[in-house]
């Protein structure tokens, strides 16, 4: 197990380094932030002064070298717009995004797995067809359109839930969260549902396929022959057998929930890193953009590493193949 983890860590460091090179070169080769940061009547002397203060007068390779050295010491640059460390700005917004992503993941699990089990056990029935039709709609309809429909139905027409903002927050164990107040929970419901719809559809289809593959196997027939109840067979034997692919997909999809919460946060004005990155791209705040991408990539790598470890624990054959 130790060798397995060390190998994965070395691969993760290599991926992070290559990503930093590509992202830095791509972001710093696009546009001129001075056109946005300075007024149109700025003098040449003012432009040169700002260029030097931001370090934009140095060659790109030198800028990357300084960036890499500072990044190794925990400094991912200073925001052009906020004049604060970019990593601190991202960390201020990250809890709101994590809260939204965890809520969407929770909904996808508690809704997707039961519906997938129900559909897989009732193959070919009206229930199965209805659930699968709903999952197809969850995949097919654009995320932004789903968000607008949720706002129109539950905020505009029915007036049940607020449509924008995070609402009033409180603290739980010293952490500021929307879960601490009823107003915060009401503000969280619509964006969490919007972000989770596609993931619910994915978990439904994955669970259904796993059930249909597992039910005809011999060990299920033996369990029935032993007189075990259908409930025990499904909840113990079937569910345990299909957990490995579900855990893998859920782990990877949690990273995508964080990375692609941009649309949901923009539609619902949710004050997370997704909205921050859109605003930063609009004003060419390069340090924020680079820091955001590296933070998201780091989270992806960490999540994948945790999933790999859990995968190897559930199925030891994975470790033997990796050795």
pLDDT tier, 49 (very low <50, low <70, confident <90, very high otherwise): confident
Contact 145, 156 (CB under 8 A): no
pLDDT, tens digit (0-9, with 9 covering 90-100), for 220-241? 787 778 777 777 887 777 887 7
**HSE value, Cβ hemisphere, 13 Å, CA-based, for 25:** 7
What local confidence, expressed as pLDDT, does residue 34 receive?
A: 66
Name the pTM for this structure. Answer: 0.76
Question: pLDDT grade, residue 315 (50/70/90)?
Answer: low
The two structure tokens encoding residue 283:
């004003």
What DSSP designation does 227 have?
Answer: T
Q: 116-136 pLDDT, tens per residue?
A: 888 888 888 888 889 888 888
How many residues are recorded in the chain?
Answer: 323
Burial class (CB in 10 A: 0-12, 13-18, 19+), 310: middle
Please tell me the distance from the alpha carbon of residue 148 to that of residue 167, in angstroms, as a whole number: 19
**Helix, strand, coil percent content, the chain, rounded in steps of 5:** 75, 0, 20
User: What average pLDDT does the chain have?
Assistant: 81
């Amino acid at each position: 197990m130790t060798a397995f983890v060390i190998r994965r860590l070395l691969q993760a460091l290599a991926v992070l380094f290559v990503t930093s090179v590509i992202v830095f070169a791509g972001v710093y080769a696009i546009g001129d932030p001075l056109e946005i940061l300075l007024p149109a009547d700025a003098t040449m002397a003012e432009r040169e002064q700002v260029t030097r203060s931001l370090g934009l007068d140095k060659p790109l390779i030198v800028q990357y070298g300084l960036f890499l050295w500072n990044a190794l010491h925990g400094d991912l640059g200073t925001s052009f717009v906020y004049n604060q460390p970019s990593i601190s700005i991202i960390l201020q917004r990250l809890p709101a995004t994590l809260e939204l992503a965890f809520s969407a993941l929770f909904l996808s699990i508690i809704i997707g797995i039961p519906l997938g089990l129900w559909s897989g056990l009732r193959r070919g029935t009206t229930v199965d067809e209805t659930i699968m039709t709903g999952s197809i709609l969850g995949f097919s309809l654009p995320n932004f359109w789903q968000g607008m429909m949720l706002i129109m139905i539950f905020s505009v027409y029915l007036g049940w839930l607020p449509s924008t903002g995070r609402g009033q927050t409180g603290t739980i164990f010293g952490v500021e969260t929307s879960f601490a107040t009823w107003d915060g929970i009401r503000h969280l419901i619509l964006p969490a549902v919007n972000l989770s719809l596609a993931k619910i559809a994915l978990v439904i289809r994955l669970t259904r396929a796993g059930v249909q593959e597992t039910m005809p196997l011999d060990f299920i027939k033996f369990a029935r022959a032993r007189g075990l109840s259908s409930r025990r067979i499904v909840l113990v034997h079937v569910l345990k057998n299909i957990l490995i692919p579900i855990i893998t997909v859920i782990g990877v999809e949690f990273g995508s929930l964080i990375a692609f919460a941009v649309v949901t946060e923009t539609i619902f004005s949710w004050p997370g890193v997704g909205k921050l990155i859109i605003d930063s791209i609009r004003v060419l705040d390069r340090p924020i953009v680079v820091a955001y991408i590296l933070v998201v990539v780091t989270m992806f790598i960490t999540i994948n590493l945790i999933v790999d470890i859990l995968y190897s624990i559930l199925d030891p054959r994975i470790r033997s193949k990796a050795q």
